[in-house]
Amino acid sequence: MTISADPTPSEAAAQAPAPPSRRELNKAATRQAITDAALALLRSKGPGNFTVEDIADAAGISRRTFFNYFGSTDAALASVTHGFLDNAIQQFRLRPADEPVLQSAQEALMALADPMTVAPLAELFTLTQQSSLMSHSELEAWDHCREQITAVARDRASATPGAADELYLRALAGSVISCGKAAMEVWFFRRGADLSPASLAELRQLLIDAMALLGSGFTIGGTPAPSSSASRSS
Amino acid sequence: MTISADPTPSEAAAQAPAPPSRRELNKAATRQAITDAALALLRSKGPGNFTVEDIADAAGISRRTFFNYFGSTDAALASVTHGFLDNAIQQFRLRPADEPVLQSAQEALMALADPMTVAPLAELFTLTQQSSLMSHSELEAWDHCREQITAVARDRASATPGAADELYLRALAGSVISCGKAAMEVWFFRRGADLSPASLAELRQLLIDAMALLGSGFTIGGTPAPSSSASRSS
DNA sequence: TCACCCTTTTACACTACGTGCAAGTTTGCA
DNA sequence: TGCAAACTTGCACGTAGTGTAAAAGGGTGA
């Protein structure tokens, strides 16, 4: 009956590369107008200081139509994160199946540490003042990503000797997500919304370090010693 | 003005061991009545099929008073998780400061794998059908626990040679939480709400295995091989 | 161009959430 | 006993989110 707000434009475009019909163009434009309006209001009024009606008015649609696209203001904002993580999963799936999961994750993340890709996420993070308590939709996006990683790891494991241990898969995927989040949090904390080459290089190094920590079991020399290879605390 | 709903009864009792004044007793009783009513309604009607007013009526209080204690139905139910995790942190803090964090986590979790402690959490999990998308308050409880672990790890690291690397602390704490959650998810998936000695033994083994996976960098023999030491897939 | 059908938007109504406020009630304390 | 603080309650208000039915827009074939 009503529109399902699930598929991201990029997904739909990937599945239907040919026919950008007028209806789909309108929908994509409306969706974009909503997220733009929501981000603009976030910038101007701050988190929690605007309503769905504000967004709808700014986007030039009715309040009811907003809810045809997103379930809440948080969900509209979280589409930014969703887009980024969908991108990450896409890169992750492109890695060779015989590569260790941790390395695949690292390589996939490297491919995303460019200004254009990171900028929206960085802005969203700073505007919501990395309050550590993400919105529900935000957390759902990360959890969705975790499930995707689990699925890929499961596929890879099923192609090898024994059947996959569910604990191994879930613990690994969850840890990868946690470490990725940790690296980004530290980066945002140190650099704010700085997107300079030096700052992005530091982000890459943090992501590499985080995956290395995970791969080494958090024991640098046999005991739980902090301070990894390259990244320096400010 | 209004009552702050932050402190758990156990915390308040721990900070003020002597004076259980009449007011505090009343508040504790009301809080307990609310969570009991919420759990009963969850059992009888299922998640999402009852309102705040239903809970308030069942607990014998006004709707407004409910909101003096909890910000939402989710928050009332999440007090179960909150209690469990507060307990875990308490155990965690009792461990010797020179012990590796991962081992402290393991030991703390061992102390909680008894029927009385796990039962409420297990029931909550099964009643909400481990839908993988926890409520906001539920996730907040886990995140609060993560921050506590980070704090303890930071304290321990600051007592050793170099200053603590923020990335190390955050990645470690996040991974510990993720692996703990993974172990519990797998246990709930395999055993449902089974609280028999054998089932609890399996939970303990899963928790041990999860921490071992983390400590070994998820590489059992040098390559990412699944199937850990003792736990068997059903 | 028109007519027809399907999709999308919109207005309206309704339930429920969460909060400020100003009472009323209970508890602690002198 | 009386006062002050803490706590509960009812009321009102704005907002969230959803069902429904009617209107507007787009696709398609004659």
Q: State residue A71's pLDDT score.
A: 97
Q: Cβ of residue B136 near strand C, that is under 7 Å?
A: no
Instruction: Give residue for tokens 């990360």.
Output: A142
In chain A, residues 50 through 109 whose Cβ sits under 7 angstroms from any atom of nucleic acid strand D: 51-53, 63-64, 67, 71-73
Contact (CB, 8 A) for B229 and B131: no
Test A165 with B227 for CB contact under 8 angstroms: yes
* Degrees, nearest 5: CA angle B175-B177-B180: 105
Same domain, A63 and A176: no
**Domain contains A164:** yes
A149 Cβ under 8 Å from any chain B Cβ: no
Q: State residue A1's pLDDT score.
A: 32
Cα gap B155→B9, rounded to integer Å: 26
**Domain contains A106:** yes
Can you tell me which residue has its alpha carbon closest to the C1' of nucleotide C10? Answer: A62
Percent residues over pLDDT 90 in chain B? 68
Cα gap B89→B102, rounded to integer Å: 13
Same domain, A206 and A160: yes
Same domain, B143 and B192: yes
Cα gap A80→A69, rounded to integer Å: 14
Contact (CB, 8 A) for B147 and A154: no
A181 Cβ under 8 Å from any chain B Cβ: yes
pLDDT band at B133 (very low <50, low <70, confident <90, very high): confident
Distances (CA, A) of A53 to A30, A72, A111, A226: 15, 11, 38, 48
Burial bucket for residue B161 (CB in 10 Å: 0-12, 13-18, 19+): exposed
Same domain, B85 and B172: yes
Q: State residue B18's pLDDT score.
A: 53
**Domain contains B152:** yes
Q: What is the DSSP letter of A61?
A: S
**The three-state (H, E, C) secondary structure of chain B, written as one string:** CCCCCCCCHHHHHHHCCCCCCHHHHHHHHHHHHHHHHHHHHHHHHCCCCCCHHHHHHHHCCCHHHHHHHCCCHHHHHHHHHHHHHHHHHHHHHHCCCCCCHHHHHHHHHHCCCCHHHHHHHHHHHHHCCCCCCCCHHHHHHHHHHHHHHHHHHHHHHHCCCCCCCHHHHHHHHHHHHHHHHHHHHHHHHHHCCCCCHHHHHHHHHHHHHHHHHHHCCCCCCCCCCCCCCCCCCC
- Judged by DSSP in three states, A217 sits in coil
pLDDT at A96 over 60: yes
Q: Of B11, B38, B71, which marks where a domain is finished? A: B71
B198 Cβ under 8 Å from any chain A Cβ: no
Chain segment A6-53, per-residue pLDDT in tens: 343 444 344 445 567 889 999 999 999 999 999 999 999 999 999 999
Q: State residue B4's pLDDT score.
A: 37
Chain segment B59-102, per-residue pLDDT in tens: 999 999 999 999 999 999 999 999 999 999 999 999 999 999 99
Cα gap B144→B11, rounded to integer Å: 14
Same domain, B80 and B67: no
pLDDT at B160 over 90: no
Cα gap A160→A151, rounded to integer Å: 15
Residue B195, domain extent: 74-215
Percent residues over pLDDT 70 in chain A? 83
Same domain, A52 and A140: no
**Domain contains A233:** no
Chain segment A181-225, per-residue pLDDT in tens: 999 999 988 998 788 999 999 999 999 999 999 999 998 654 544
Distant-in-sequence, close-in-space partners of B77: CB < 8 Å, separation ≥ 6: B35, B38, B39, B42, B124, B128, B135, B137, B138
**Domain contains B140:** yes
Distant-in-sequence, close-in-space partners of A125: CB < 8 Å, separation ≥ 6: A184, A188, A193
- Across the interface, of A206, A217, A226, the residue whose CB is closest to B215 is A217
Q: State residue A13's pLDDT score.
A: 40
A105 Cβ under 8 Å from any chain B Cβ: no
pLDDT at A130 over 60: yes
Cα gap B135→B138, rounded to integer Å: 5
Which has the closest alpha carbon to B192: B117, B95, B126, B115? B126
Output helix, strand, coil percentages for chain A, rounded to the nearest 5: 70, 0, 30
- Give first-to-last CA distance, chain B, whole Å: 53
Which nucleotides in chain D lie less than 7 Å from some protein C-beta?
6-12, 14-20, 26-27
Q: State residue A131's pLDDT score.
A: 72
Cα gap B193→B122, rounded to integer Å: 6
pLDDT band at B131 (very low <50, low <70, confident <90, very high): confident
pLDDT at B140 over 80: yes
**Domain contains B225:** no
Q: Of A31, A47, A71, which marks where a domain is finished? A: A71
**Domain contains A198:** yes
- Across the interface, of B147, B167, B175, the residue whose CB is closest to A183 is B167
- A-facing residues of B in 118-147 (CB < 8 A) are 132-133, 136, 139-140, 143, 147
Mean pLDDT of chain A: 85
Q: Of A48, A71, A94, which marks where a domain is finished? A: A71
Percent residues over pLDDT 70 in chain B? 83
Q: State residue B132's pLDDT score.
A: 74
Same domain, B101 and B191: yes
Distant-in-sequence, close-in-space partners of B181: CB < 8 Å, separation ≥ 6: A174, B142
Instruction: Give residue for tokens 């492109």.
Output: A94
Cα B17 → chain centroid: 23
Test B224 with A183 for CB contact under 8 angstroms: no
Summary count for chain A: helices (H), strands (E): 10, 0
Chain segment B23-49, per-residue pLDDT in tens: 999 999 999 999 999 999 999 999 999
Same domain, A154 and A103: yes
pLDDT band at B158 (very low <50, low <70, confident <90, very high): confident
pLDDT band at B192 (very low <50, low <70, confident <90, very high): confident
pLDDT: which is higher, A218 or B1: A218
**Domain contains B84:** yes
Q: State residue A202's pLDDT score.
A: 93
Shortest CA to C1' contact from A67: nucleotide: D17
Which has the closest alpha carbon to B185: A171, A75, A114? A171
| Residues constituting chain A | 234
Same domain, A43 and A84: no
Q: State residue A110's pLDDT score.
A: 92
Percent residues over pLDDT 90 in chain A? 68
Reading the block at residue A202, the tokens are 């530091």
Reading the block at residue B9, the tokens are 């009864």
Same domain, A116 and A206: yes
Which has the closest alpha carbon to A167: B130, B143, B180, B134? B180
Q: State residue A37's pLDDT score.
A: 98
Domain of residue A37, CATH code: 1.10.10.60
Distances (CA, A) of B23 to A127, B12, B20, B26, B27: 41, 13, 8, 5, 6
Reading the block at residue B51, the tokens are 């309102």
Cα dihedral angle (B158, B160, B161, B162), rounded to 10 degrees? -30
Q: What is the largest CA-CA distance in chain A?
A: 61
pLDDT at B13 over 80: no
DSSP H or E segment with residue A229: none
B48 Cβ under 8 Å from any chain A Cβ: no
Q: Cβ of residue B3 near strand D, that is under 7 Å?
A: yes
Cα gap A164→B120, rounded to integer Å: 30
Count of structural domains, chain A: 2
Q: What is the mean pLDDT of residues B190-216?
A: 92
Same domain, A65 and A93: no
Q: Cβ of residue A68 near strand C, that is under 7 Å?
A: yes
Same domain, A50 and A129: no
